[in-house]
Amino acid sequence: MDKYKIILFDLDGTLSDPKVGITKSVEYALQKMQIQESNIDKLECFIGPPLQVSFAEYYNFDEENTQKAIYFYRERFKAMGMFENELYSNIPLLLKSLKDLNFTLVVATSKPTVFSEQILIHFNIDQYFDLVVGSNLDGTRTAKTEIIQYILDMYNGHKLDDFIMIGDKKHDIIGANNTGIDSIGVTYGYGSYEELSHSNPTYIVKSVDQLKDILIGSQVK
């Protein structure tokens, strides 16, 4: 299948597994806010959505406390958390294969652009991406719909049919649906099959190899 030309990748839970860095940075922020969270696995819900949404939703923080918590989170995340992270198996090979076939690759993430770029460089996969679009450090452009629309506007010479969004959470699929592009939900990240299927993606896959088959078909194995 070669109908797509521009492929948008979510970062956390799609290209890399950031669990250790994110959950430990959330734990650190909560401790600074005088909250002890004994079960760090409970903090997996922070992987994917914007921090503003998660602190408000899961800990009922008001705007002031949410901003304080984000400040503390970034204090640890900038120092070490962003590198407590690993690429999913076969991601570099997939990216190289797509690039060799002249696909345009873009990162579309709710993580701040500046951190996302550093993570791509750390893993030596920045070379494969033409554009990295994340949120701004001031808390603007965090919604996935807004991020995808920004990318579509950057490539406004293309038809919507040329684009596909790949992500592991409902926010990725909803953003794609809201902007009128196809999507692939991946279940190897942090979203369940149920969460993804209820959001109506174009495809659902359970592995990087299945992802490759949809994007490239039989051209590369």
Distance between CA 3 and CA 162 in Å, rounded? 7
Residue 221 lies in a domain: no
Per the annotation, the verdict on 10 as an active-site residue is yes
Choose one of 83, 106, 129: the last residue of a domain.
83
Confidence of residue 3 (pLDDT cuts 50, 70, 90): confident
Any idea what the CATH number is for the domain that residue 51 is in? 1.10.150.240
Q: Do 78 and 91 fall into the same domain?
A: no
Q: Do 187 and 117 fall into the same domain?
A: yes
Q: In what order do the strands lie in the sheet with 203-205?
A: 131-135, 104-112, 6-9, 163-167, 182-186, 203-205
End-to-end Cα distance, the chain = 13
Distance between CA 132 and CA 83 in Å, rounded? 18
Q: Do 202 and 139 fall into the same domain?
A: yes
187-218 confidence digits (pLDDT tens): 999 999 999 999 999 999 999 999 999 999 73
Q: Do 96 and 159 fall into the same domain?
A: yes
Domain total in the chain: 2
Distance between CA 216 and CA 139 in Å, rounded? 36
101-114 confidence digits (pLDDT tens): 999 999 999 999 99
Distance between CA 53 and CA 171 in Å, rounded? 12
SS3 181: coil
Q: Do 112 and 211 fall into the same domain?
A: yes
42-73 confidence digits (pLDDT tens): 999 999 889 999 999 999 999 999 999 999 99
Q: Which pLDDT score, from 0 to 100, does residue 217 have?
A: 76
Residue 92 is part of which domain span?
Answer: 6-17+86-216
pTM of the model: 0.93
Whether the CB-CB separation of 215 and 4 falls below 8 Å is answered with yes
Residue 180 lies in a domain: yes
Q: Do 203 and 148 fall into the same domain?
A: yes
Q: Do 28 and 53 fall into the same domain?
A: yes
Number of helices and strands (H, E) in the chain?
Answer: 9, 8
Q: Do 68 and 141 fall into the same domain?
A: no
Q: Do 212 and 145 fall into the same domain?
A: yes
Any idea what the CATH number is for the domain that residue 136 is in? 3.40.50.1000
Choose one of 83, 101, 125: the last residue of a domain.
83
Residue 26 lies in a domain: yes
Q: Exactly one of 10, 17, 172, 182 is catalytic; which is it?
A: 10
Q: Do 120 and 46 fall into the same domain?
A: no
| Residue 180 zone, left/alpha/beta (φ > 0; ψ -120 to 50; rest) | left
Q: Do 105 and 172 fall into the same domain?
A: yes
139-189 confidence digits (pLDDT tens): 899 999 999 999 999 999 999 999 999 999 999 999 999 999 999 999 999
Torsion angle in degrees (nearest 10) through CA of 97, 173, 187, 49:
110
Choose one of 34, 56, 83: the last residue of a domain.
83
